[in-house]
Amino acid sequence: MVSHDWAALDRDLRRFMAKKSVVSKRQELLVYDCDGLTIDRHCPPLAVLPETTEEVAQVLACCHRHGIPFVARGSGTGLSGGALVEQEALLVVTSRMRRIISVDLDNQTVTVQPGVINSWVTKAVAGEGFYYAPDPSSQVVCSIGGNVAENSGGVHCLKYGVTSNHVLGLEVVLPDGTVTTLGGGLSEYAELDLRGAFIGSEGTLGIATAITLRLLRAPQHVTVLLADFPTMESAGEAVCQVTAAGVLPAGMEIMDNFMINAVNDLFGFDEYPRDAAAVLLIELDGQAAEVTVAADQASECCLKAGARDIRRAEDAADCALLWKGRKSAFAAIGQISPTYYVQDGVVPRSALPSVLAAIQRLSREYELPVANVFHAGDGNLHPLILYKADMPDVQTRVRDLGAAILRECLAAGGSITGEHGVGSDKRCYLDWMFAPDDLATMELLRSAFDPDRRANPGKVFPTPKSCGESARRQVTLAREGIEMPSDVKAF
């Protein structure tokens, strides 16, 4: 293991950073020992909280001179261990970079610093009739910088897409401290889409310090349907029938019986029917006449699929109430089990019934309860595995169950992640999904931005230290004659 001179780095950082912006006391650093996935904890040796692009550039240039790795962190709500400092590295926290730099309503854009909270963007422009579409469930606390790093989705990604569909340009500080711009204020540029490459790179290419976002006009009318079903299979069938009918909802979300009752218990009243095997939330937006027709079609599809009852909300307060339980799902589970493990996989919509049945089977097999809440419209599953931290070998069983669920997703033609990213949690599964030459190409792209591999080290890609899979990958690469540069082989 390389030994770093942390005292020297600390001294250099304090030469240009305010005293309050450099954190070195262990009791203060403990707040950064995990992200939203609390199963892993690692306290960083040193943290810095810059407030401007210039300070970020100076910090990374300082790390470059000392040969010290760094990890970027926003609000810490990530669910893949992406902001953990597993090996010695400087933690660069962007939570003080919370300025909305400019608003251009004529061109429907807004430029913000990375620490700006997701929901603040809409609040800043709502009075003018605009909003920012990507809306992760944690949108009242997660930051735009983190959303860019993970290419976050949300309830409305079915119709409006994920973060990459709404980011026009990025100001980025590269690992050596160089400041550059990727993309700009226009939808299309005559250049390689390095903006697209950076979004979802999970902090392995640099740190975004200014982000230009696309704004949308608020819809004229919104209707939310809540359909309850006697079986999970019938709820999944309703999703397929709605999309097959040509209806494009803004969002479709399913919650299973476990989650329904957890939410009701949290609120102290029955927001959703307790005896339903599943509830399906469907939001439709657009022109009033269009929404009315689409809501009628969606309701008919749900009834044909076996829905027992359908509630319909059109008033803003009533719509918000129907969504409140979905937005509070993780908090509701926290009331039942302080320790839980969230997975994130994607399957084709047609495979939802079979994969959900497989998750139930695996839950019984591993003797661990699983609650399901997910973006049904695009098949993005979020199974929550509940466990007690004092159970013997429980973390191993929890991880094994999570891996088995991802195997089922891949077998159905899906993916190991939809919006939470790979981070440290799923890096050992990456070569389940990609061939050796695909991984080698990804490694080469990463090396073009960060040849010294100091940006978020050990994340996303399998490493010899953390994953036995990577050893087999190297053997396969050699067998197939795929040569990787020496800096890539060294990770």
Give tens-digit pLDDT for 129-154: 999 999 998 999 999 999 999 999 99
Residue of 475, 485, 477 lying closest to 451 (CA atoms): 485
Whether 476 shows a pLDDT value over 70: the answer reads no
Q: What is the mean pLDDT of residues 174-198?
A: 92
Where does a domain end: 282, 309, 330? 330
Output the domain CATH number for residue 55: 3.30.43.10
Q: Is 170 domain-assigned? A: yes
* Least confident range of 98-107, 284-293, 349-358: 349-358
Token pair of 125, please? 């422009």
Beta strand 278-286 pairing with 207-214: unpaired
In 10 A of CB 133, how many CB atoms?
A: 22
Where does a domain end: 274, 295, 330? 330
Q: Is 419 domain-assigned? A: no
List, for residues 73-93, the tens digit of each pLDDT value: 999 999 999 999 999 999 999
- pTM exceeds 0.85 for this model: yes
pLDDT recorded at residue 1: 56
Where does a domain end: 33, 63, 93? 93
SS3 77: coil
Percent of the chain residues topping a pLDDT of 90: 89
List strands edge to edge, sheet with 46-48: 22-23, 46-48, 90-93, 70-73
Question: Same domain for 326 and 343?
Answer: no
With cut-offs at 50, 70 and 90, classify the pLDDT of residue 339. very high
Question: Same domain for 348 and 324?
Answer: no
Tell me the pLDDT of the chain averaged across its residues: 93
Q: Is 416 domain-assigned? A: no
β-bridge mates for residue 217, sequence order: 130
Tell me how far apart the alpha carbons of residues 347 and 246 are, in angstroms, rounded to a whole number. Answer: 20
Question: Same domain for 239 and 266?
Answer: yes
Output the domain CATH number for residue 110: 3.30.465.10
pLDDT recorded at residue 483: 46
Domain encompassing residue 10: 6-93
Question: Same domain for 89 and 158?
Answer: no
Q: Is 253 domain-assigned? A: yes
pLDDT recorded at residue 185: 80
* SS3 sequence of 35-68: CCCCCCCCCCCEEECCCCHHHHHHHHHHHHHHCC
- Burial track 374-400 (b if 16+ CB lie within 10 A, e otherwise): bbbbbbbbbbbbbbeeeeeebeebbbe
Cα distance from N-terminal residue to C-terminal residue, the chain? 13
Tell me how far apart the alpha carbons of residues 105 and 309 are, in angstroms, rounded to a whole number. Answer: 42
Contacts of 294 (CB under 8 A, 6+ apart): 247, 248, 249, 284, 286
E strand spans, 249-308:
251-256, 278-286
Question: Same domain for 175 and 281?
Answer: no
Taken as a whole, the chain contains a residue count of 491
* Least confident range of 23-32, 187-196, 428-437: 187-196
Question: Same domain for 117 and 62?
Answer: no
SS3 99: coil
List strands edge to edge, sheet with 109-112: 100-104, 109-112, 207-214, 167-173, 179-183
Question: Same domain for 67 and 80?
Answer: yes
Q: Is 484 domain-assigned? A: yes
pLDDT recorded at residue 489: 38
Whether 482 shows a pLDDT value over 50: the answer reads no
Output the domain CATH number for residue 399: 3.30.70.2740
Question: Same domain for 109 and 212?
Answer: yes
Q: Is 132 domain-assigned? A: yes
Q: Is 417 domain-assigned? A: no
Whether 479 shows a pLDDT value over 60: the answer reads no
Whether 485 shows a pLDDT value over 90: the answer reads no
Per-state percent for the chain, helix, strand, coil, to nearest 5: 40, 20, 40
Q: What domain count does the chain have?
A: 5
